[in-house]
Amino acid sequence: MVDIVILAVMGISLVFGLFRGLLRELLSLVSWVFAFWIAYRYSANVAEIIDRALQNPTLSQAVSAVLVFVIVLVALMVLTSLIAKVFKATGLAGIDRILGGLFGLGRGVVILL
């Protein structure tokens, strides 16, 4: 049973890596980390504005953190998509997908650790 779970995690991660490619995988990872950092760093500023309407500091902080995170992540996903389209036009999509598969295998190992 454990073997099946391990193979499933590795297989799914490999397939995602193959379909998305290394460039998209790396940009996605960077986008998530950056969006989290920006939300952590600047959500307090946004919370002050939101708190004027909500009058609940705890809720305002939570809403602002989610709002900042989602806005930054969506913006970076759009940028990632545009960069991936430009990269695909260079004709290196095959190599990108193979390297993405290797990245996916590595991610699968990290998930299983």
Contact indicator for 17, 25 with CB cutoff of 8 Å:
yes
Tokens of 56: 């609940």
From residue 26, give the alpha-carbon distance in Å to each of 41, 42, 64, 72, 77. Answer: 22, 24, 27, 16, 12
**Virtual CA dihedral for 34, 37, 111, 23, nearest 10 degrees?**
0
Whole-model pTM over 0.85 = no
Hey, how many other C-beta atoms are within 10 angstroms of the C-beta on 18?
18
Tokens of 40: 């952590």
When the pLDDT of each residue in the chain is averaged and rounded to a whole number, the result is: 92
The C-alpha atoms of residue 16 and residue 72 are separated, in whole angstroms, by 23
- Residues 4-42: pLDDT tens digits? 888 898 999 999 899 998 999 999 999 999 999 999 999
**If you search the block for the tokens 């397939």, which residue do you land on?**
15
